[in-house]
Amino acid sequence: MNRKKSKNKGKSTAQEHLPKGTLDITRSGIGYVIIGNGDGDVLVRPGDFNTALHGDVVRVKVIKENMRTGKKEGRITEVIQRKQTEFIGTLQMATNFAFFISDSEKPMPDFYVPLENIHGAKNKDKVVVRLTKWGKDDKKPVGEVVSIMKAEDVNDMAMKEILAEGGFPLTFSDEVMEETARLPEEISPAEIKKRKDFREVLTFTIDPVDAKDFDDALSIKKLKKGLYEIGVHIADVSHFVEPETQLDEEAYKRATSVYLPDRVNPMLPERISNELCSLRPHEDKLSFSAVFQMTEDGKVKEFWLGKTVIHSDHRFAYEDVQEIIESGEGKYLEEITLLNKIARKLRKDRFSSGAINFSSQEVRFKLDEKGKPIGIMIKESKEAHQLIEEFMLLANRTVAEYVSKIKVNKKEIPFPYRIHDEPDEQKLIPFVAFARKFGYKFDTSAPEKIAASFNALLADVNGKPEQHVLEQLGIRTMAKAVYTSENIGHYGLGFEYYCHFTSPIRRYPDVMVHRVLESCLKQKPEVDKKMEEKCKHSSERERAAMDCERTANKYKQVEYMQGFLGEIFEGVISGVASFGFWVETVAHKCEGLVSVAGLSDYDDFRLSETDYSLYGRRSGRSFRMGDKVWIRVVAANLEKRQLDYEWVIDGAKQAAGEITEEPQPRQQKPQVNNKKDKAGKKAKPFSPIAGEAVTVPPVAKQEPTAAQLPQAPKKKEKKPADKKQTTSKSTPKKSNKKPKKEKE
């Protein structure tokens, strides 16, 4: 296999002392380099971008600094990493060349496209163009058309735009595809001799019904003395994706597959993910395995880690296994019943050891042949999912603990741990106070006490009106799980050691884990000095993928609710802010904003920070997270991916057709306390939240439009000089991804 030669070897490191950051270009065209070390942002004018585009990682030289204000201005000296290399827009033909005009909201130059690179595209075609070259001597970036889009396929265009804006390539390069095509399909006898052979052991996969990439399988064999051999077999991706190849470089760049409502944007070409590495039934496959000798009550007596060859006997869907568990009938009943019994015990032990049992629902769309949503499906985690989840978790923590004990020069080797920090105290304190109002007590004296309190609350609140709000706010107190070479354990799972070993087809950190583990098993531990850099990149790409998934799900929500304009539905308040509150409809799980401006005829509403609510100053009417309300769908803006609702006072009656006109609220005078205080002064008018500050912002949902925001007196406009401010929120989002096999 061809190795990619290292680039820029011996290149001068004179610029390495310059600050590194991410370029954020505002709509006005001014850029800011966001530097993460707290040194402050650096303003960069368009003439000093030096070929950088929005989202690129760059080095910046400060050329001007105001010592009094700390404001800095600079110019970009180097583009370290492109966020985006593929763009969607319109092709404009000239006589001897073509121009590409991007649809991006961010200002960016047009691309020059040579005629030999238009590949059949015509004037005004919607196309995807890849940036191929932009040197210092080039007046314009040079591009190449990689695909022509159908103007009538609005859904395809929207999904691709979301992926491209997230920095995920839409296609694989010719070099990557050529490398992939050269990979051998046959498994050689020499390769099989190097591995432990499990082809005669009962093995099967359990996956979503529409899955094509089967990256894990379970095997089971009865041993003597009441023991069972249970194998967790994972697709051996690192056998095919070797370091320093074009294929590996592309996989690292993407770092993850992205799951949208109607498609998967894969980390690896389909020949690898769906064919060579996929553990398809009735085929010999190469795998990397964690094999356990266990008792019926889940006690691990021995384990073995190593390369294997397997042969899957059957492919189950989750629904198949769930039916076998519930009915007590079906294929491999005895084996599935035993595996489920062990998984239940592992799960019970995990929670008793400090894991937190947050429940979750998965919302998925039913789509027609054109990708248009025609229905909603709510999926919950059942025993079939939990069976797979527990064995994947067991394999992941076993691998992490094994590698943690390997030392080189008395130091632990660099390894991509998956860590989850303890809850943020600043977020936990208001949550504990809020939960106390419902009668729930919290012990915050130690991390394990906090976990036990969370589990007690989640058990007690189940089925009660406050369940939704307390679960959502509880999740918000949690830190985000990330990849790092500095292990601190996984708080949410209750594990001292944890990594991702079980999904290398869709996650690059799992590929890194496989490589380090293999080197340890060969007694030649790999010391990767760039491990922490790779971990940070993987964490960033994971966040970008989640943003794409949320954005795509929001697009589908808006598209679906376009069919219900003017209709009234019951909903639950899922977030609050000073400018309104968000409501998730009970029937569709679609979220929209009720603007405080639309409530102004009823009352003057203010935000209560401690109660996560809006209070009416005259009426005393409140809107608190978790409250049930009735709303009318008033707008569904697909371009902005934004739903607007309005509060309906007698929504239940109107939905039932009992009344046709909505009653107007009674205007109440401010309540005034006429008593005098000890000083003889008259008390101020009553206001339950007078003087309170803006609350914990709810989750990053849609941004309010100008029409939705309360109107303030117009001020004299100033020329844009500072960075644009945006309003963000933090209420947890529902995921529409395909069911994953482990949960964090």
The torsion angle over the Cα atoms of residues 121, 123, 129 and 133, rounded to 10 degrees, is 100
> CA 35: distance to chain centroid?
23
Rounded average pLDDT over 66-71:
86
Would you list the DSSP string of 587-651?
A: TT--EEEEEGGGGTTT--EEEETTTTEEEETTT--EEETT-EEEEEEEEEETTTTEEEEEE-TTH
Question: pLDDT tier at 737 (50, 70, 90 boundaries)?
Answer: very low
pTM for this prediction: 0.82
Question: pLDDT tier at 62 (50, 70, 90 boundaries)?
Answer: very high
What is the Cα–Cα distance from 363 to 735, expressed in whole angstroms? 6
What pLDDT score was predicted for residue 658? 60
What is the Cα–Cα distance from 26 to 34, expressed in whole angstroms? 12
Q: What is the 3-state secondary structure (H, E, C) of 406-475?
A: CEECCEECCCCEEEECCCCHHHHHHHHHHHHCCCCCCCCCCHHHHHHHHHHHHHHHCCCCCHHHHHHHHH
Helix, coil or strand: residue 139: coil
Query: pLDDT of 129-181, one tens digit each?
Result: 999 999 888 889 999 999 999 877 889 999 999 999 999 999 999 999 999 99
Query: pLDDT of 111-121, one tens digit each?
Result: 999 999 999 99
Distances (CA, A) of 114 to 96, 103, 408, 575: 8, 20, 53, 50
CB 372: neighbour CB atoms within 10 A?
17
pLDDT cut 70: percent of the chain above it: 85
Asked if pLDDT for residue 574 goes beyond 50, the answer is yes
Of 53, 185, 38, the C-alpha closest to 109 is 53
Asked if pLDDT for residue 635 goes beyond 90, the answer is yes
What is the Cα–Cα distance from 472 to 433, expressed in whole angstroms? 15
Average confidence score pLDDT of the chain:
85
Rounded average pLDDT over 628-655:
90
Helix, coil or strand: residue 110: coil
Rounded average pLDDT over 499-519:
98
Query: pLDDT of 250-293, one tens digit each?
Result: 999 999 999 999 999 999 999 999 999 999 999 999 999 999 99
Question: pLDDT tier at 692 (50, 70, 90 boundaries)?
Answer: very low
Question: How many Cα atoms occupy the beta-carbon half-sphere of 453 within 13 Å?
Answer: 20
Query: pLDDT of 623-633, one tens digit each?
Result: 988 888 999 99
Query: pLDDT of 215-240, one tens digit each?
Result: 999 999 999 989 999 999 999 999 99
Query: pLDDT of 364-386, one tens digit each?
Result: 899 998 899 999 888 888 999 99
Rounded average pLDDT over 68-92:
92
What pLDDT score was predicted for residue 142? 95
What pLDDT score was predicted for residue 360? 65
Asked if pLDDT for residue 741 goes beyond 70, the answer is no
In our burial notation (b when 16+ CB lie closer than 10 A, e otherwise), range 609-628 reads: eebbbbbbbbeebebbbbbe
What pLDDT score was predicted for residue 143? 94
Element (H, E) at 53: none
Q: Which residue has the higher pLDDT, 511 or 609?
A: 511
* Gap between the terminal Cα atoms of the chain: 37
What pLDDT score was predicted for residue 14? 56
Six token digits for residue 636? 């569904």
Query: pLDDT of 438-487, one tens digit each?
Result: 888 888 888 888 998 998 898 888 877 778 778 888 888 888 999 999 99
> CA 424: distance to chain centroid?
20
Question: pLDDT tier at 15 (50, 70, 90 boundaries)?
Answer: low
Q: Which residue has the higher pLDDT, 433 or 336?
A: 336
Would you list the DSSP string of 521-577?
A: HTT-----TTHHHHHHHHHHHHHHHHHHHHHHHHHHHHHHHGGGTT-EEEEEEEEEE
